[in-house]
Amino acid sequence: MNNYEAAIQRFKEWFSEAHDTDGILDATAMNLATATADGRPSARTVLLKHFDEEGFVFYSNGNSRKGRQLAANPRAALTFYWEPLQRQVLVEGAVQVVSDAESDAYFASRPRLSQIGAWASRQSEVLASRAAFDAQVEAVEARFEGQPVTRPPHWGGYRLRPDMIEFWQGREGRLHDRERAYRAESGQWEWILLNP
């Protein structure tokens, strides 16, 4: 097992434990940080929908603020924080759009109201009123009445392909453990310890 495979295996173990721990409402919640082409950052919480050796997958409206930023600057950072376990995982890397087939399959698995919302929401745009949004939802419901809701062309998945994964384990007195796996200039993955 190389260092990258070991990092993914460690994440799987930590994620599984977080998923099974009381007090963690949603182990898939992660902070996603993106930036504009000129480096202006923004962050928000999204949900991890899949991960494996290929990377970490989440879904969004491509016309949203994060979608526009990822189109202009396709690099991002993720942070998972599981407070009851005193654990944090940082992931950084390049982001790619997933295949249409992968996005279609995930979209088909979503609750119908979430599918409707993907069409109705002009995510990140100014909204005149809640009533205006409710009218948009009603219009989409009428459009798809009695039939499956197809995936909007502007909605889909993103895969962050890591070039760094850092594991932080909290300890008393802030004497934490920090370990980082990263892709070196040689292309090989290294594993190092960091001061807390």
> Which one-letter DSSP state was computed for residue 23?
T
The pLDDT tens digits of the residues spanning 4-45 come to: 999 999 999 999 999 999 999 999 999 999 999 999 999 999
CA distance 106 to 159: 13
Cα–chain center distance at 139: 29
Positions marked active-site: 174
Extended strands (E) in 9-118: 29-35, 41-47, 50-52, 55-61, 75-82, 87-97
Q: What is the mean pLDDT of the chain?
A: 96
User: Which architecture, in CATH terms, is 3-110+153-194?
Assistant: Roll (2.30)
CA distance 24 to 42: 25
pLDDT at residue 14 in the model: 98
The pLDDT tens digits of the residues spanning 103-118 come to: 999 999 999 999 999 9
The pLDDT tens digits of the residues spanning 119-137 come to: 999 888 898 899 999 999 9
Helical ranges in 88-173 per DSSP H? 100-109, 112-120, 130-143
Residues 6+ apart with CB under 8 A from 10: 167
pLDDT over 90 percentage in the chain: 96
Place of tokens 């994620």: 15
The dihedrals phi and psi of 149, each to the nearest 5 degrees, come to -90, 120
pLDDT higher than 90, residue 63: yes
* Separation in Å, CA 93 to CA 42, 56, 90: 16, 10, 10
Ordered by start, the domain boundaries in the chain are 3-110+153-194
